Amino acid sequence: MSKSLYSLRMHANRGQEHVSGAERLLEFEQLVETASAMLQRALKHPRGAAERISLKVESFGDAAVRREALLPLSTHAVDDWRQGRELAAELLVRHGIARRVVTTALAALAAGAAPGGTVMRGAMLVDSASGRRLEPDPARGVRVSRMDLDLAARHAVESLLGGQGLNNPRVIEAWVLASKVALYPQVIAELCWSDDPDYLTGYVASARHGYQRITRLKAAGDRIGGRIFFVAAATLPAELIDALQLEPILFSAPRPNTLEQGLCAN
Ligand code: AMP
């Protein structure tokens, strides 16, 4: 008989504004401790106090779970966020995404891509040829969930990153999320920087070039962040959105060459 696994999701907001969110895929024994840590995070978030926090738990058999390997990780050190954004744009253009599409999408993210210039709860989906936004709800966007490291992988990843001064839950969460997004051939590349005013590192990720962290993608104190999934021209988004939200994926320990050149702590 297959064992049950649990999707655990947290979302916190203040009025219409997104404050914090998190998603994990866990065994029963991990649920209470992880839910409590999520609650603490929402209550003490640097974006400010939440007015409403929801936690959602869903179970399913682990036979439905797909097992995959994490993307290779590398880090580009830059002097400031302007240099970081130029580099991010260049990396995206190298994936074949039209430069005007990259420029417009980056500007939308930087201005707050939800209506009213606020932070979206999930990601923008952008057609890489036309630049058209494809997410059905521009405030919610597409929220990727049901992904995690398996237990053995978590230990391996923590010790791998620990040796580089990078053992930070944010790095792991983003690495796992980016590795799930890159599994779908409709996605050409992803761009992310955090909405946490204190966390300045972001990344460009893809199946082709891995998870490339960029040490500065925004100015200290900036509360605007977000994610953009650039998709192939004429992608019909419904199937991709379903897979990103619903397909459960567990990642196994990274291969020994997963950490590439140019690592630096941040
Ligand atoms: P964070 O890295 O948690 O600071 O998130 C930065 C931004 O990425 C958020 O403001 C959301 O717009 C987006 N985001 C966060 N988590 C997800 C997710 N699970 N799926 C899609 N987008 C997300």
Tell me the pLDDT band of 264, cut-offs 50, 70 and 90. very low
pLDDT for 2: 65
List the residue whose alpha carbon is closest to atom 22 of ligand 1. 122
Q: Is the pLDDT of residue 197 over 80?
A: yes
pLDDT digits (tens, 9 = 90+) for 228-257: 999 999 999 999 999 999 999 999 977 666
Average confidence score pLDDT of the chain:
92
CB 76 within 8 A of CB 104: no
pLDDT for 259: 57
> Rounded to an integer, what distance in angstroms lies between the CA atom of residue 230 and that of residue 241?
13
Ligand 1 in reach of 226 Cβ (< 6 A): yes
Q: What is the mean predicted confidence (pLDDT) over 46-53?
A: 89
> Rounded to an integer, what distance in angstroms lies between the CA atom of residue 103 and that of residue 232?
17
State the closest ligand 1 atom to the C-alpha of 123, by its place in the atom list counted from 1.
22
Q: Is the pLDDT of residue 261 over 60?
A: no
pLDDT digits (tens, 9 = 90+) for 5-17: 999 999 999 988 8
Helices (DSSP H) in the chain: which residue ranges?
31-43, 81-93, 99-111, 151-162, 169-181, 237-246
Q: What is the mean predicted confidence (pLDDT) over 208-233?
A: 97
